[in-house]
Amino acid sequence: MPFNAHQFPRNTLIRMYRHITFTIALTLLCGISFAQLLTSHQDQYKLHIRKASTSIKVDGLFDEEAWDKAETSTDFIRKFPNDLAIPIRRTIVKTTYDDAYIYFAFTSYDSSTHVIQSLKRDGGHEMNDAVGVVIDPLNQRTGGFFFVVSAFNTQTDDQLNGGSDQLSLSWDNKWYSATKRYADHWTAEIAIPFKTIRYKGDRKLWGINFLRSDLKTNEYSCWTRIPINFKSYDLGYTGSLLWDSPPPPAGSNMAFIPYVTGNLNSNKENNQPLKAGGNAGFDAKVALSSSLNLDLTVNPDFSQIEVDQQVTNLTRFNIFLPEKRTFFLENSDIFSGYGIEPIRPFYSRRIGLDDDGNAIPIYGGARLSGNLGSRTRIGIMNMETGRKNGYAGQNYSAISVNQGLFKRSLIKGYFLNRQGFMTEAEKQQDPLKAYGRNAGGEFAYSNLKGTWNAWLNFNKSFKPGIHTENTYGSTGIGYSDDKFSMIVDVTSVGTNYYTDMGYVERIENYDAARDTIVRVGFKHLFTEATWRIAPPKGKINRHTFNLSNYRVVNPDYSLNENNLEFDYQLEFSNTASLNAEVSNNTVQLLFPISFTDATPIPVARYKYSNGSIKFNSDIRKTFNYFLMAGGGEFYNGTVKQLQTGFTYRKQPSLSFTLAFEYNQLRFPLTYGKTELFLIAPRVEISFSTNLFWTTFLQYNTQNNNFNINSRFQWRYKPMSDLFLVYTDNYFTDPLLKNKSRALVLKLNYWLNL
C-alpha cells in the first residue's frame, strides 16, 4: 500500500490554539464569580467540636461522658447512585478532642452482615462497608487527610491534594481505631494524633467531611452534598469544623524506620549460581514544621513490594506501569503532576531501575515536601544510584513549587536533573547519556465548584549538543457536572524532547525491519464528551455515553493516527455493569512493525474497526465474575479477544481471583499469526488485620514469562512489619525452564522519636 501523506492544515492548528487560549481566559474571568460558593457550603454544614471532659478509650463502645456531650451530626446525603435523596440507612457522627488526639465516633445502622473485600490495610472505602473522615486543617482546599475504617477495623489513610481526584494510598502514619458489630448497627471509634495532621494551631475553622459506603444497598453517602461527578473526598465540598478554642499544638513528629534483610538468590538465565546475601538501611521522617516534612532514605530496599501486574500490549509503544515503591509514592503528586497522562516529565520508575526494569542499587536520598505558607507548596528531592551491569551510577534531582491562585487554581514550576557518573570513554560512546535536564511551568485553573478546568504548560529539555525541537507544550479545557462532561486538549512534542526522569508514550517508534528505535515528535488533538443519565429509581443506576477522538500528526503535519471511539456503559443497582465499545482507526504506519515472529507489517496507511462487549457481575456476591469478548480488523489482519475471570471471597479472610486473557492475531500472506495467553490466579488470606499471606501467579506468553510471587506479612506492631517473600520466574517456551528465583526475609521497625 503506497504512502498517502494526509495533510493536517497548519493554520487550522494555530486557530485551534487561539480559540482554546481565549476560552481559558474567558473561563478564568467567569470562574471568579463562584467565590462565595465554599463559604455558603460551609455555612450550611457546621459541626462544633468541644474538648473532652473525660479521658477516652478507643474501643468502639462510646461509654465515656465526653461522647454524651459531643455535638451530633446525623443528616447524611446520598452521594451515589444519585445525589438527590436521603440514604436508606442512617449514620451518626460525633467528634471531640483532648491534648493529644482528635476523636470521631461513627454509628452506622446496618444489618448483621457486611461486605468486606479484605482485612489488609489500605483496602479503601469503595469496595468495603466503611466510614471515613476528610480533614482540611488549613481550609484552603489545597491539601488534607483521609482516614477510613471498615466494619472489621481495617484502616486506610492518605494525603489529599486539592488538584487531584485520585488516591495513591501511599501515605502511612500511626493512628488508632476500634469497631464493634451488632445486629442492627456497627460502630467505629477513631483517634488521630494531632502530630499526624499538619496544621497551624491558631486556626479555629477546619474543613471537614464524613462519608459512608454501604455496599449491600450499593449506596455511598456524605455529610455534605457532593455532586455525583466528584469524589467523596473532594476538598472543594467540605463543611465547617468549628473549634471551641484553638486546637493544641501538634507537637513534634519524627520517625526512624530501620530494616534488615537476608536473601537467597539464583539467576540461571545469566548463569549465576545460588548465593546468600543481606542488606540493611533505614528511612526517617522528620516534621520540620506544622506543614513541612523531610523524608530520608539510606540504602532502601523494595524487595517486599508486589511484582508488576503483567498485561498484553497490542500497541506500538511501551506501556506505562504504575509506581509501587512507597518512598516515591508519598507526596509524589508535587513532582508527577506535570503534563498530561501519556506525557509526564517526571516518572519515578526511571529512578533505581534500568531500561529493562531491573533494580539498580539506590545509595540514598532525601525529599523535602510540604507547605511554606497557606498557598505555597514545595518539593525538593535528591537520589543517588550505583553502577550495575554496565549501567552507570546516577544522581537524580527534582525541584517543584506550587503556588495557589484564586480559590482552587495553581501556577507550578519545576526543574529536573539527571547526571550520569560516566567515564570519558562512555561519554564519547553515547554523549546523550551524560546528563538530561528538564524545566517547565504550568498553570492549572479550576473554578471553586470544580466544574471548569483549564491548563496551559510549557516544558523544555536539555541534552548535550541539542538545541532544537526540544520542547513540549499543551493547553486544554474541561467541564464536568452530574450529567455532562467534556475535554479538549492540544499538545505539541518536539522530536528532541527527552525526559530522562519522565515518560512520553509515543515519541519512540520501533522499526522492526532495522531492529532500532526512531524518535519522531508529534502533535495531537484530543476531544471527548460524556453524557450521563441517572434514572430516579429502578434497577438501573446510570447510563453513560462517551464519544472521543484522538488525532495525531507528525512534525510536518501529515497524519500519524486518528482514533474515533464510542463507549456505552450500563450500571445496574446491584453493582453489575455492561460495557459496549466500538472504535474506528486510521494509522499511517511510519516504520514496519511486527506482532508475530514473521515478516513485519509494511509502511502503509491502514484503516480498521473493532469492538468489544464486557459484563461484570454483582461484586458484592461471594462469587462474582466478568466476561469480555471483542474483535474485528487490526492493521491488515484481524484480532479476536477474550477476557474472563472470577473472584471467590469468603469474608473476611479469603479471596481467590483468576483472570484469563486470550488474543488471536492473524495477518495475511507472510505476516504471520500468533496466539497470546495471559493467566493470572491470585489468592489472599487475611488471618487477622495484622497477618496476611498473598500468592500471585502470572503466565504471560507475550513476555515468555511465568512468575510466582508469594508474600507473607506480619504487622507485629503498628507500622512495623516482618516480610517473607518468595519469587520465581520461568520461561513459557521452553515450557517452565527456570530463569531465576529468590527468597527474602525483611524486618522493619517504626520508632517514634
Quick one: which H or E segment has residue 17?
helix 10-31
Phi, psi of 223 (to 5 degrees): -70, -45
Can you give the three-state secondary structure of 278-304, one letter per residue?
EEEEEEEEEECCCCEEEEEEECCCCCC
Integer Cα distance of 477 and 442 in angstroms: 14
Buried b vs exposed e over 413-435: b needs ≥16 C-beta within 10 Å?
A: ebebbbbbebeeeebeeeeebbb
What is the residue-wise DSSP string for 633-650? Answer: EETTEEEEEEEEEEEEEE
What is the residue-wise DSSP string for 224-246? Answer: S---TTS-TT-GGG-EEEEESSP
Identify the pLDDT of residue 39: 57
Identify the pLDDT of residue 167: 79
440 exposed, middle or buried (CB, 10 Å; 0-12, 13-18, 19+)?
buried
Per-residue cell: 709: 510471587
Mean pLDDT of the chain: 89
pLDDT more than 90, % of the chain: 66
More confident residue, 85 or 573: 573
Of the pLDDT bands very low, low, confident and very high (cuts 50, 70, 90), residue 413 is very high
Of the pLDDT bands very low, low, confident and very high (cuts 50, 70, 90), residue 165 is low
Contacts 24+ apart (CB under 8 A), 424-428: 426/392
Could you tell me if residue 15 is left (phi over 0), alpha (psi between -120 and 50 degrees) or otherwise beta? alpha
Distance set, CA 651 to CA 303, 338, 625, 629 (Å):
29, 41, 17, 30
Condensed to tens digits (0 to 9), the pLDDT of residues 674-711 reads 999 999 999 999 999 899 999 999 999 999 999 999 99
Mean pLDDT of 631-655: 95
Instruction: Please check whether residue 577 is in contact with residue 571, taking contact to mean a CB–CB distance below 8 angstroms.
Output: yes
Instruction: Please check whether residue 364 is in contact with residue 297, taking contact to mean a CB–CB distance below 8 angstroms.
Output: yes
Integer Cα distance of 223 and 562 in angstroms: 44
Give the closest residue to 422 by CA, choosing from 464, 468, 359: 464
490 exposed, middle or buried (CB, 10 Å; 0-12, 13-18, 19+)?
buried
- Pick from 315-329, 548-562, 622-636, 694-708: least confident: 315-329
Per-residue cell: 578: 455492561
Instruction: Please check whether residue 571 is in contact with residue 612, taking contact to mean a CB–CB distance below 8 angstroms.
Output: no
CA 317 to chain CA centroid, Å, is 21
As beta bridge partners, residue 222 has 77, 211
Integer Cα distance of 413 and 402 in angstroms: 7
Give the closest residue to 293 by CA, choosing from 427, 159, 467: 159
So what CATH class is 38-243? Answer: mainly beta
Identify the pLDDT of residue 263: 95
What is the residue-wise DSSP string for 529-555? Answer: EEEEE--SSSSEEEEEEEEEEEEEE-T
Condensed to tens digits (0 to 9), the pLDDT of residues 202-225 reads 788 999 999 999 988 889 999 999
Give the torsion through C-alpha atoms of 496, 497, 500, 502, to 10 deg: -150
Give the closest residue to 652 by CA, choosing from 693, 689, 690: 689
Of the pLDDT bands very low, low, confident and very high (cuts 50, 70, 90), residue 401 is very high
Per-residue cell: 500: 530522562
**The residue count for the chain:** 753
Integer Cα distance of 658 and 666 in angstroms: 27
User: Does 747 have pLDDT greater than 50?
Assistant: yes
H helices present in 61-192, as ranges:
65-69
- Pick from 248-252, 390-394, 516-520, 551-555: least confident: 248-252
Integer Cα distance of 163 and 730 in angstroms: 43
Q: What is the DSSP letter of 33?
A: G
Integer Cα distance of 209 and 125 in angstroms: 14
Mean pLDDT of 414-422: 96
Instruction: Please check whether residue 325 is in contact with residue 347, taking contact to mean a CB–CB distance below 8 angstroms.
Output: no
Strand positions, DSSP E, 589-690: 605-616, 623-634, 637-650, 654-666, 673-688
Cis-peptide, bond into residue 431, ω within 30° of zero:
no
Of the pLDDT bands very low, low, confident and very high (cuts 50, 70, 90), residue 164 is low
Looking at residue 216, its amino acid is K
Of the pLDDT bands very low, low, confident and very high (cuts 50, 70, 90), residue 147 is very high
129 exposed, middle or buried (CB, 10 Å; 0-12, 13-18, 19+)?
buried
Identify the pLDDT of residue 162: 64
Mean pLDDT of 595-618: 96
